[in-house]
Amino acid sequence: MKIDLRTAQLLNSRLFHDLVGAAGAINTGLEFLNDADGADDALALMRKSADRLNNRLGFFRVAFGLGGGAQGLLTLIDGGILAAGWYADAKPTLMWPDTTAIGAVGNVPPTAVKTLMILAMLAEECLPRGGEVSVDVVRIPEGLGFTVSARGAGARAPDGVPAALSIKFEQEKLTSRNVAGYFAAALANQLMARLESAESLDTVQFAFLVPVAALSD
Protein backbone atom coordinates (compact mmCIF):
# COMPACT_ATOMS: atom_id res chain seq x y z
CA MET A 1 0.00 0.00 0.00
CA LYS A 2 1.31 3.43 -0.95
CA ILE A 3 0.25 6.85 0.29
CA ASP A 4 0.19 9.13 -2.75
CA LEU A 5 -0.07 12.92 -2.84
CA ARG A 6 -3.86 12.99 -3.12
CA THR A 7 -4.20 10.63 -0.16
CA ALA A 8 -1.91 12.85 1.90
CA GLN A 9 -3.99 15.89 0.95
CA LEU A 10 -7.21 14.14 1.99
CA LEU A 11 -5.64 13.14 5.28
CA ASN A 12 -4.58 16.74 5.91
CA SER A 13 -8.13 17.88 5.15
CA ARG A 14 -9.50 15.39 7.66
CA LEU A 15 -7.07 16.38 10.40
CA PHE A 16 -7.41 20.12 9.92
CA HIS A 17 -11.20 19.83 9.85
CA ASP A 18 -11.07 18.43 13.39
CA LEU A 19 -8.69 21.17 14.53
CA VAL A 20 -10.63 24.06 13.03
CA GLY A 21 -13.65 23.40 15.25
CA ALA A 22 -11.63 23.72 18.45
CA ALA A 23 -9.72 26.75 17.20
CA GLY A 24 -12.96 28.41 16.10
CA ALA A 25 -14.46 27.98 19.57
CA ILE A 26 -11.47 29.78 21.08
CA ASN A 27 -12.07 32.67 18.69
CA THR A 28 -15.74 32.74 19.70
CA GLY A 29 -14.70 32.99 23.34
CA LEU A 30 -12.43 35.92 22.53
CA GLU A 31 -15.32 37.75 20.90
CA PHE A 32 -17.37 37.53 24.11
CA LEU A 33 -14.50 38.22 26.46
CA ASN A 34 -15.19 41.95 26.55
CA ASP A 35 -18.78 41.34 27.62
CA ALA A 36 -18.77 41.79 31.40
CA ASP A 37 -21.81 39.55 31.84
CA GLY A 38 -20.34 36.74 29.75
CA ALA A 39 -16.64 36.98 30.59
CA ASP A 40 -16.63 33.95 32.89
CA ASP A 41 -18.48 31.82 30.36
CA ALA A 42 -16.12 33.03 27.62
CA LEU A 43 -13.06 32.03 29.64
CA ALA A 44 -14.55 28.62 30.42
CA LEU A 45 -15.25 28.07 26.72
CA MET A 46 -11.73 29.11 25.78
CA ARG A 47 -10.15 26.80 28.37
CA LYS A 48 -12.27 23.86 27.23
CA SER A 49 -11.54 24.55 23.57
CA ALA A 50 -7.81 25.00 24.23
CA ASP A 51 -7.74 21.63 26.02
CA ARG A 52 -9.59 20.01 23.12
CA LEU A 53 -7.18 21.54 20.60
CA ASN A 54 -4.15 20.44 22.60
CA ASN A 55 -5.50 16.89 22.96
CA ARG A 56 -6.15 16.60 19.24
CA LEU A 57 -2.78 18.02 18.25
CA GLY A 58 -1.00 15.57 20.55
CA PHE A 59 -3.06 12.66 19.25
CA PHE A 60 -2.56 13.54 15.59
CA ARG A 61 1.18 14.14 15.99
CA VAL A 62 1.70 10.61 17.27
CA ALA A 63 -1.00 8.59 15.48
CA PHE A 64 -0.43 10.09 12.03
CA GLY A 65 3.10 11.46 12.34
CA LEU A 66 6.54 10.37 13.41
CA GLY A 67 6.06 11.39 17.03
CA GLY A 68 6.80 8.83 19.73
CA GLY A 69 6.26 8.46 23.44
CA ALA A 70 7.98 10.19 26.32
CA GLN A 71 11.19 8.20 25.74
CA GLY A 72 10.95 8.31 21.96
CA LEU A 73 9.37 4.84 21.81
CA LEU A 74 5.58 4.72 21.67
CA THR A 75 4.04 2.25 24.12
CA LEU A 76 0.52 1.05 24.83
CA ILE A 77 0.53 3.22 27.94
CA ASP A 78 1.41 6.30 25.84
CA GLY A 79 -1.30 5.41 23.35
CA GLY A 80 -3.84 5.08 26.15
CA ILE A 81 -2.99 8.52 27.54
CA LEU A 82 -3.38 10.14 24.13
CA ALA A 83 -6.58 8.23 23.39
CA ALA A 84 -8.00 9.30 26.76
CA GLY A 85 -7.32 12.90 25.77
CA TRP A 86 -9.23 12.36 22.55
CA TYR A 87 -12.21 11.01 24.49
CA ALA A 88 -12.06 13.71 27.18
CA ASP A 89 -15.11 15.51 25.78
CA ALA A 90 -16.55 12.72 23.63
CA LYS A 91 -20.00 11.22 24.11
CA PRO A 92 -18.75 7.61 24.37
CA THR A 93 -16.50 6.44 27.19
CA LEU A 94 -13.19 4.70 26.50
CA MET A 95 -11.98 1.50 28.16
CA TRP A 96 -8.25 1.08 27.41
CA PRO A 97 -6.22 -1.91 28.72
CA ASP A 98 -4.96 -1.31 32.26
CA THR A 99 -1.34 -1.71 33.31
CA THR A 100 -1.90 -5.35 34.31
CA ALA A 101 -3.27 -6.26 30.89
CA ILE A 102 -0.51 -4.29 29.18
CA GLY A 103 2.14 -6.07 31.23
CA ALA A 104 0.67 -9.44 30.30
CA VAL A 105 1.11 -8.93 26.55
CA GLY A 106 4.69 -7.64 26.72
CA ASN A 107 6.24 -5.41 24.08
CA VAL A 108 3.93 -4.02 21.40
CA PRO A 109 5.30 -2.53 18.15
CA PRO A 110 4.82 1.27 18.06
CA THR A 111 3.18 0.93 14.64
CA ALA A 112 0.56 -1.35 16.19
CA VAL A 113 -0.10 1.26 18.89
CA LYS A 114 -0.61 3.93 16.22
CA THR A 115 -3.01 1.65 14.35
CA LEU A 116 -4.92 0.97 17.56
CA MET A 117 -5.18 4.69 18.32
CA ILE A 118 -6.65 5.44 14.89
CA LEU A 119 -9.16 2.61 15.24
CA ALA A 120 -10.17 4.00 18.64
CA MET A 121 -10.69 7.38 16.98
CA LEU A 122 -12.87 5.79 14.30
CA ALA A 123 -14.79 3.86 16.95
CA GLU A 124 -15.80 7.13 18.61
CA GLU A 125 -17.36 8.20 15.31
CA CYS A 126 -19.42 5.00 15.32
CA LEU A 127 -21.32 6.16 18.42
CA PRO A 128 -23.03 9.52 17.75
CA ARG A 129 -25.45 8.87 20.64
CA GLY A 130 -22.75 7.77 23.05
CA GLY A 131 -21.88 4.37 24.41
CA GLU A 132 -18.67 2.55 25.25
CA VAL A 133 -15.51 1.85 23.27
CA SER A 134 -13.41 -1.00 24.63
CA VAL A 135 -9.87 -1.78 23.49
CA ASP A 136 -8.47 -5.25 24.05
CA VAL A 137 -5.03 -6.73 23.40
CA VAL A 138 -4.15 -10.40 23.78
CA ARG A 139 -1.03 -12.45 23.09
CA ILE A 140 -1.78 -15.78 21.44
CA PRO A 141 0.51 -18.36 19.81
CA GLU A 142 -0.08 -16.76 16.40
CA GLY A 143 0.95 -13.28 17.56
CA LEU A 144 -0.73 -10.22 19.08
CA GLY A 145 -4.45 -9.74 18.63
CA PHE A 146 -6.06 -6.29 18.86
CA THR A 147 -9.77 -5.53 19.06
CA VAL A 148 -11.65 -2.23 19.28
CA SER A 149 -15.37 -2.57 20.01
CA ALA A 150 -17.90 0.26 19.86
CA ARG A 151 -21.16 -0.53 21.64
CA GLY A 152 -24.13 1.77 21.92
CA ALA A 153 -27.54 2.62 20.52
CA GLY A 154 -27.42 3.07 16.77
CA ALA A 155 -23.75 2.11 16.47
CA ARG A 156 -22.68 2.34 12.85
CA ALA A 157 -19.34 2.58 11.07
CA PRO A 158 -18.72 5.89 9.25
CA ASP A 159 -19.56 5.79 5.54
CA GLY A 160 -16.87 4.13 3.50
CA VAL A 161 -14.61 3.24 6.41
CA PRO A 162 -15.06 -0.58 6.44
CA ALA A 163 -14.20 -0.76 2.74
CA ALA A 164 -11.19 1.54 3.19
CA LEU A 165 -9.71 -0.86 5.74
CA SER A 166 -8.94 -3.31 2.93
CA ILE A 167 -5.50 -3.30 1.31
CA LYS A 168 -7.30 -3.73 -2.03
CA PHE A 169 -9.26 -0.49 -1.67
CA GLU A 170 -8.93 1.83 -4.67
CA GLN A 171 -7.33 5.12 -3.65
CA GLU A 172 -9.49 6.96 -6.19
CA LYS A 173 -12.46 6.21 -3.93
CA LEU A 174 -10.89 7.76 -0.85
CA THR A 175 -12.58 10.74 0.78
CA SER A 176 -11.78 12.86 3.80
CA ARG A 177 -14.27 10.71 5.74
CA ASN A 178 -12.62 7.33 5.13
CA VAL A 179 -8.96 8.24 4.56
CA ALA A 180 -8.02 7.71 8.22
CA GLY A 181 -9.17 4.10 7.92
CA TYR A 182 -7.00 3.63 4.85
CA PHE A 183 -4.02 5.12 6.67
CA ALA A 184 -4.58 2.68 9.54
CA ALA A 185 -4.66 -0.17 7.01
CA ALA A 186 -1.35 1.04 5.56
CA LEU A 187 0.20 1.01 9.04
CA ALA A 188 -1.12 -2.48 9.74
CA ASN A 189 0.23 -3.67 6.41
CA GLN A 190 3.74 -2.75 7.59
CA LEU A 191 3.25 -5.36 10.32
CA MET A 192 1.94 -8.02 7.91
CA ALA A 193 -1.50 -7.49 9.47
CA ARG A 194 -4.87 -6.91 7.87
CA LEU A 195 -7.65 -4.86 9.41
CA GLU A 196 -11.10 -6.36 9.70
CA SER A 197 -14.43 -4.85 10.66
CA ALA A 198 -17.79 -6.31 11.63
CA GLU A 199 -21.17 -4.83 12.48
CA SER A 200 -24.08 -6.26 14.42
CA LEU A 201 -26.95 -4.77 16.39
CA ASP A 202 -25.62 -1.67 18.20
CA THR A 203 -22.02 -2.89 17.85
CA VAL A 204 -19.13 -2.13 15.52
CA GLN A 205 -15.85 -3.99 15.88
CA PHE A 206 -12.41 -3.45 14.36
CA ALA A 207 -9.65 -6.03 14.72
CA PHE A 208 -6.21 -7.05 13.49
CA LEU A 209 -3.58 -9.68 14.26
CA VAL A 210 0.15 -8.95 14.19
CA PRO A 211 1.83 -12.28 13.39
CA VAL A 212 4.78 -13.57 15.38
CA ALA A 213 7.05 -12.96 12.39
CA ALA A 214 6.42 -9.20 12.67
CA LEU A 215 7.13 -9.04 16.41
CA SER A 216 10.51 -8.38 17.98
CA ASP A 217 10.89 -8.77 21.73
Residues of the chain above pLDDT 70, percent: 93
Classify the phi-psi angles of 106: left when phi > 0, otherwise alpha if psi is within -120 to 50, otherwise beta. Answer: left
pLDDT at 1: 63
Residues of the chain with pLDDT under 70: 1-2, 34-38, 68-72, 216-217
Rounded (5°) CA angle 215-145-197: 125
At the top level of CATH, the class of 5-214 is alpha beta
Question: Which whole-number Å values give the CA distances from 159 to 71, 127, 177, in the listed order?
Answer: 37, 13, 7
pLDDT at 36: 59
pLDDT at 37: 67
**Domain ranges in the chain?**
5-214
pLDDT at 86: 96
